[in-house]
Structure 1
Amino acid sequence: MLATQVEKYTDVVAIVPARHRAASNHLNNLKGQRKNNKERNTKMRGLLATITMAKMLLILFGLMIIHQDVVDAARAAGAVGTANAVVTMNNTCAYYVGYIANPENCQGWGLCEGGILKATGNCGKGMLYDSRKGICNYASKVQCNTSPADVCANTADDTFIADPTSCSKYCFCSNKALIGCKSCNNNQLFNPSQSQCVNSYACPVNSNCRLVPNNQFVGLPGKNCGKYLRCLDGSGTLGTCPNGLFFNGISGKCQNTNPCGATTITPSALPPDTAMCKTSYSAAKGGLQYFPDSDTCFGYYTCENQQGIGVWRPCQYTFQFDSVSKVCVQSTQTKCTHNRCANINLKFVTDTSSPQCTKYFVCNNGQQSTKSVACPADFPHFDEVNQACSKTNPSYPICN
């Protein structure tokens, strides 16, 4: 009897370790599977990251080619935006009155009065100009984005960003540092929310609100002249004055008369220049280069290389091309001896060949008069912004 019980007990004792070993083995198998799954997931994430990085580098170095026929179709439909019309302090002052930011200096500010940049200055030590509040503020409370390097210092790693100085350029940031920049192909614009070049995008670099404080109003050129933008965080919402009034960006107020009443001729494109790039392009400088045309005040040619063909482009409405800075600027900022009445909304324009702006031309349907008119002796200087002769010489570059 005792022997039988001992045998049963021995069998039970033998079974328990066996079951324990089976459970332990099952647990180890589960741990192994979990480890393998984790390793596979890690490898998959690494592979996806590698693919993403490769895609970024492909885009960055221009190896992803967008078909020209798609861009041509979009351009024909009017969907391609303007890549080169970057807003400057002078440009902004043409449609705004008050203080603005300096896009080239984190501490800098400017004062717009009478359609021109009246004054500039810098915030004190440890302070930066807060473009959203319109004040000098502590550096720790201001995010300054005057350059791609500034943006990279304040953005997530391994990210594409828009170049804050150009709608058509984008850059790659890694470890809070700028890795490199690239231009979109075929005059496309970079959309940072999609991280890709697109045919149509409301780029804030081109917005008159970029340098203007929040909840301020800035005027508009072209077809929207007489309307305004209400600014918020560098972009704006289109608005109109009540009761049929017109917004005057120079005064910052609504008024009865339309400040853009003059009739203008829509600029027509000039043909490509086959010799421009060969004779003017600098191979040592490289990159996309800009050259004034010899027929208009508002047009210019672009060359991608010395073997290319010069493509003609117009400045945005009311702007003229400055052959020195190679950018489109307010008409009072650059001297031009061609027809200054084209691509502008003025009834009178300064004769820039006259000393200290003593003469002006009359505009008729976008064409300036054959001969200029001299201001009277008691008001000897023509003020193009205020459209009248004045006693004092305006401080515009065209009058110097």
Structure 2
Amino acid sequence: MRGFDTRICALVACLLLASQASGYSMEQMCAQWSGTGYVGNPTNCRGWGYCQGQELVAWGTCPDNYIFNSQKGSCGFAKNTVCATSAVQTCSSAASPMYVADPTNCTQYGYCDGKGSIAYGNCGVGGVYSAAIGKCVWGPTCPQSTLCQFMLSDIYVGDPDNCGSYLSCSNGYGTPGTCETGLTYNLVTGNCQKTNTCSGSGSDSGSSNGQFTIGQTDAKICSTGFAKAPTVTGQTYRFVSDMTTCYGFYYCASDTAVGTWNQCQVGTHFNPTLGECVSPASYACPYNRCGNVKSQFMTTLGTSCKGYMVCSSGADLNCPTTSPYYNEVYNICSTESPAFAVCTSS
């Protein structure tokens, strides 16, 4: 019994070390990703989480004898799926010989003999093991020390260590990338944009890395905006635009209250005249219209819906003369002008 307890403790310690090695929780992974889907649990190789709207909305575990494959976003047979949190557990189930990363020590790797045992090798001075290519590479950073280790392949996520930059995830490895000069990466849309999502100047990120964070307060906003906000019968509080983003607003209990910032759900903009979150096409927001939406293109104001902006680059384009009107709801150029409020803005 004592030997059994020791093995359990060793496994628990290994899982804890794996969590510390990855450095990211499922909540943090979701916060950096504009997409919807599954992520792996860095403390349990059978565990998974589900991201939606940059939040962790569900979690669970794969059945016995299955391991969660983070790069595929699905459960796989333990005999041929690497456990990202434990080399020992991988080798105990591996049905054939294979090399695996040691999540507790990046300078060494494990060799599974296909019979349940593991042997360790060392990458030498200055070397680290890369699970993505199955070889030792030159350090000094560990290729597995990235949130991409527990995320899908072929996606882009925000770089948690460099606001405004991104990581390209591929087979558990994150390749750092930066937007073109003058652009920054927007966590909500997954695109590069003109407005700076990090400096606090014209930010439209809609995430905790932008100018505003949910719950942030402003002691003056209610005194100036409360009277301008629409009134609702039986409702004493009002919602006031943050006057910086298309989707942010403050909750004001009264004109003397401290305002509390919040944001509309992804895909909508805040209409200060109605005090509600609405379809972007129904309100001509004067700020960055690409903020808080997952569209590649958005109508450019003042063009009568003949011009549109590329959200990833900020470039302004026009529809062809044969189909001169851009319809942002259906994302097409059309021969008829859409009956949207954004088309009549000046």
- TM-score bracket for the superposition, by shorter chain length: 0.3 to 0.5
Judging by fraction of residues, say which structure has more helix. Answer: 1
Please report the TM-score for the alignment, with normalisation by the length of structure 1.
0.38
Which protein is richer in strand relative to its size?
2
Question: Is the radius of gyration larger for structure 1 or structure 2?
Answer: 1
